[in-house]
Chains A and B, each alone.
Chain A
């Protein structure tokens, strides 16, 4: 199968997945038995308030009609109107997504270094003290709940040794130095959270590759160790880590919610929490759909990268 056919079929599958996601979200939020309006407003709500909400959400229409209407609007780029604020969701979401994107890119850059360097050090020195020390550190970091890690970093670098701002509040008129300083703590938290998983996977896969026949042949060809590591071992070892990175994007998006919350960063995650607390169903649907789309897209990219790194996959899949 050619690369293009592979790509086409993967894109098709991703689209199908997203369609199913939209059905799932709709089913969970609006089609569960019981009155949606009551669930949103609580049992103490007045009849009038319930009535208003019902008409706002078109609850008088049948479920399927509401779903197809929503999906059609969504595909056309009309994300609907937030119940809580009355503003178009697209306007609310836009700047938040940009903020989160900036934060994620910063976090991702740190993540690359944090994941690659320790894993390579471990694999090259496997069984030696440095390997064990890094293993213990990653295990400890892996065990820290993300909200606790964020809180600890905040305590250390903003309270105990106040070198960084505790609150990552940014606005349109903050300079880029201010923004960068504000984003350090949340970005580092996110990077550590993702890296601890990747380090373990990359270390294991690198060790496996270093034991492989082709690395041994490369060594016995008389190649210098550096060439063996970077030309033969790493490109093949990185594929499983790539998959884990994409899979862990689910963690990253969850982590964004928590980290943004801890540092009060005005991004996508805090918006989701606000929407949930206000039970703003149109906004919840939009944010969850977008996060699922990001996840699916990232996995698609990881798949394509894996195929590019491993020509073998081009024919065997």
Chain B
């Protein structure tokens, strides 16, 4: 195969007031015609910087020190602006990371595609512009949306538009910069499916940049793993995932939560990438389990180790050698006496805005976004609430905490009903329910030191503590006492989340509401926070309502899982039961869409009645999207709640029907690793 792109010895530095920082060092790889190459790494590893250089693009403060990027024999780094302009879009096209901000907001999407074709005079002969655009839309599975503005389309549709735009001039190379980040998991899978299909039809090469190895498994032929600006391993995709050689690759793969807890090829990563703590030798040395003194001083470069495979580690043989992984002991749930019921939620219905005086006058009511929620939580138990973005999971948490007075329904703690509004709850009730927020950057007042942030909680609730209390609680969450005198912006995201957990624990709560507390963190940091939560759960016997879009994380330590779709509970079951026998069609869809670490030829199952529309509060919210929909019944009648062994299912099909046709064929034949449901 002829090489389409050859990157050799690329070095890029970023300039700032403090001087130059090397962000990309000695990166070399090549992509053949029609090949899909994946570039993977944690945030800040320089993968996007490399990708944009393939379009001859760099930010003003970046400088290419050495290296060349040969595209079809011409060095892109030496081309002048006019020549680059001719190349971009026509031969090398970009699919951007965030379609919402990447489409021009004041221009109809059809005009944006037309502009691309007109600029490159790429209209096929004998075809009108309008027809060509409609065909492009059809190619990416969209109806003719040319007259719409970007904000009128959903995120998935916007990404399809940018893909249609990218392939409009039949480019030789498509650069994809995290094209599915921020989309719901089912949409993610559909986009990847679309890209794979396009590649088969058009035959273009791809550079796919992502932090999500599992997704890469579905589309890439070969993968390069980047760490701190260097390629540490290049290997065929299957080989990398089944037998990673570099310690970093191993750690990265091990950090991905697995669905079945099967043995991992290595341990998760410790620490975070710190550009200021870099050794002169191997960049990964500070975080590496196999590091020796020599590693600190000897720089490592990619060395071929096998057919089409290269690793930048002199000790990779030791790293791959079988060692005894410390199996994470899952303590079996003691089937002891059922603890007392802590929290119960009955018939909860919520809507965002409370009707104003204006609306009340006109008899207007805002629609309920959450309906018929029944939950209970026993002391010391972890209940996970899982759903796609916008399903109402955080809204439920807000209502329980008192920040959103419910429209209907009762929330009670220890059997006593809680006042709907925050201001009517007693100090004691407030203390017993503590809330941890999604975004650690915003949950600590940036103007106060950690000491003052923690002390405020104690003072307010008048809790008697000894003077070592703050040190102790920091120790509990795995932080040193020095942190007390720091400001929040001197901490990393994971450390800030630990402080937020410490603040909640400090007042001895009975219930901890964890609202997507992992989603803003890197994979390796997530794994360690989960570890912390698990140990805290055992030590403090605190109950948790754990809200997440990530089924894989949830199964690691939740006792029970509640699945939410568009404001309604679809299913509630023990974690193990839910994963082994999902039963409910929606739960099945979620589990199927979660990509495994192996190519699984995912094809989204078509809805059986795509034309029926789900009206909120009338029929089943899944109507129109459900692959097992019975017919119009689902859209017209509320599905009944059916009790199961350890929970319930809301569906028109009986549990027997569900079980008989349920199990997807490939469910049990390989270890299933999964990520994000949303």
Task: Name A's B-contacting residues (CB within 8 A).
Answer: 127, 212-214, 216-225, 227, 231-232, 235-236, 309-312, 315-316
Contacts and interface: CB of A to CB of B under 8 A. Distances in A.
Nearest to B120: A222
Contact of A220 (B60, B94, B105, B107): B94
A212 B150 CA distance: 15
8 contacts: A213-B102, A217-B103, A217-B162, A221-B119, A231-B115, A235-B106, A312-B151, A315-B151
Given A213-B98, A312-B149, A220 B55 contact: yes
Contacts of A312: 105-106, 149, 151
Contacts of B94: 217, 220-221
Contacts of A227: 115, 119
A60 B345 CA distance: 67
A224 B105 CA distance: 19
Interface residues of B, number: 31
B483 interface: no
A213 B105 contact: no
Interface centre among A217, A219, A223 (most CB of B within 10 A): A217
A221 B89 contact: yes
Query: What is the interface of chain A mostly: helix, strand, loop, or mixed?
Result: helix
Contacts of B104: 214, 218, 231-232, 236
Nearest to B175: A220
B165 interface: yes
B513 to A, nearest CB: 30
Contacts of A217: 94, 96, 102-103, 162
Given A222-B90, A224-B85, A236 B151 contact: no
Contacts of B165: 221
Interface of B: 55, 57, 60, 81, 85-90, 93-94, 96-98, 101-107, 115-116, 119-120, 149, 151-152, 162, 165
Given A232-B107, A310-B106, A311-B149, A223 B115 contact: yes
B53 to A, nearest CB: 12
A304 to B, nearest CB: 15
B151 A311 contact: yes
Interface centre among A216, A222, A231, A310 (most CB of B within 10 A): A222
A222 B96 contact: no
B157 to A, nearest CB: 15
B96 A213 contact: yes
Nearest to A308: B106
Nearest to A311: B149
Contacts of B105: 214, 236, 310-312
Contacts of A220: 55, 57, 88-89, 93-94
B320 to A, nearest CB: 40
Nearest to B60: A127
A219 B57 contact: yes
Contacts of A222: 85-90, 116, 119-120
Which 8 A-B pairs give the minimum distances between C-beta atoms? A222-B89, A222-B88, A213-B101, A213-B102, A221-B89, A311-B149, A312-B151, A214-B104
Nearest to B149: A311
Contacts of B151: 311-312, 315-316
Contact of A311 (B96, B101, B106, B115): B106
A221 B116 contact: yes
Contacts of A235: 106
A217 B175 CA distance: 12
Nearest to B97: A213
A231 to B, nearest CB: 7
Given A213-B101, A222-B86, 14 more contacts: A213-B98, A214-B102, A217-B102, A221-B93, A222-B120, A225-B81, A225-B85, A227-B119, A231-B107, A232-B104, A232-B107, A310-B105, A311-B105, A316-B151
Contacts of B87: 222
Contacts of B102: 213-214, 216-217
Nearest to B55: A220
Contacts of B149: 311-312
Contacts of A311: 105-106, 149, 151
Contacts of B103: 214, 217
Nearest to B108: A311
A99 to B, nearest CB: 38
A224 B119 contact: yes
Contacts of B88: 219-222
B573 to A, nearest CB: 39
Contacts of A223: 85, 89, 115-116, 119
Given A219-B57, A221-B116, A214 B101 contact: yes
Contacts of A221: 88-89, 93-94, 115-116, 119, 165
A217 B96 CA distance: 7
A48 B187 CA distance: 86
Contacts of B60: 127
A139 B660 CA distance: 77
B640 to A, nearest CB: 38
